[in-house]
Amino acid sequence: MSRVGFIGTGHIAAPIARLLARKGHEIFVTERNATVSATLKADINATVGRPQSVIDQSEILFLCLRPHIASDVLAPLSFRADHRIVSVMAAVSETDLRSLCAPAGDFVQTIPLGFLEQGGCPLAAYGNDDLLAGLMAPENPVVKVANETSLNAHFAICAMVPGVLDLLTTGVDWLTEQTGNADGAEFYTTQLMAGFLASMEKGQTGRLAAERDALATDGTLSLQMTQTLQAGKAHEALRDALTAIGKRLET
């Protein structure tokens, strides 16, 4: 087992730390979010310290800072050549990481969501994917990508998750208006989507389109829904958002 440190302790770091603690790793966290770090200390016996202390005591480091503050936080810190680094910071390039974390040179960049603590979160990985797999798999499958452009495209797809949740919220609001039952509307909508996706056959390219076409046949309510969304240019809006996010990550 390894000594794993977290620079930045918040929404993404906490579930990763809990997962790795369950797997037997020793956890070190910064006080950047005092409430979260105190909870991790109480729940998983994490050692809480200043950033340099966390770095000095760790073999593997997760960088979980917001991208716009990464340089300010990391630049004053000292790393070792033997450090292995996992960055979960969108828009912080490999070039920037190598400069900020020198002389460390063993990196992997990835895109986690909080549900990885329960497993089933696919992790796009650019760099040392074996390092990430050794920590996260088999609970969370690691998907190796060839370059940072591909990684950024996966980051954009991750941003689609709250967009889909936003649409589902609109559906829940509509159902609540029709039934007067907010709890029932949210339960029904979330269970319907979660159950359907969970039942789909895994590992078959084109299965999303195939399932769509199986439901949206001539004369059905499902076809009316897909056609209305297409006519309203929902798909164009999604593509535009993904493209804009991808361009933002390149800068």
Tens-place pLDDT, residues 84-104? 999 999 889 999 999 999 999
Domain residue extents for the chain: 3-145, 150-250
Tens-place pLDDT, residues 32-76? 778 899 999 999 999 999 999 999 999 999 999 998 999 999 999
Distance CA 149, CA 146 (A): 8
What does the pLDDT read at residue 145?
A: 97
What does the pLDDT read at residue 251?
A: 63
What does the pLDDT read at residue 9?
A: 87
* Single-letter amino acid, residue 134: G
What does the pLDDT read at residue 243?
A: 93
Of the candidates 118, 38, 153, 101, the residue with the CA atom closest to the CA atom of residue 29 = 38
pLDDT at 203 over 80: no
Distance CA 182, CA 174 (A): 10
Examine domains 3-145 and 150-250 and report if their fold is the same. Answer: no
pLDDT at 134 over 80: yes
Cα radius of gyration rounded to whole Å, the chain: 21
Q: What confidence category does residue 202 fall into, taking pLDDT thresholds of 50, 70 and 90?
A: confident
Tens-place pLDDT, residues 170-199? 999 999 999 999 999 999 999 999 999 989
Tell me the CA distances in angstroms from 98 to 5, 64, 80, 109, one per residue in order: 18, 16, 12, 12
pLDDT at 249 over 90: no
What does the pLDDT read at residue 171?
A: 97
The structure tokens listed for 251 are 């800068």
Q: What confidence category does residue 31 fall into, taking pLDDT thresholds of 50, 70 and 90?
A: confident
User: In sequence order, which ranges of the chain are alpha helices (DSSP H)?
Assistant: 13-22, 34-44, 51-57, 67-74, 94-100, 129-136, 148-179, 182-199, 207-215, 221-231, 234-250
Of the candidates 116, 155, 152, 154, the residue with the CA atom closest to the CA atom of residue 136 = 116
Q: Which fold has domain 150-250?
A: ProC C-terminal domain-like fold (1.10.3730)
> Mean pLDDT in the chain?
94
pLDDT at 110 over 90: yes
Of the candidates 187, 188, 159, the residue with the CA atom closest to the CA atom of residue 249 = 159
Of the candidates 158, 152, 153, the residue with the CA atom closest to the CA atom of residue 113 = 158
Instruction: Classify domain 3-145 by CATH number.
Output: 3.40.50.720
* Single-letter amino acid, residue 70: A
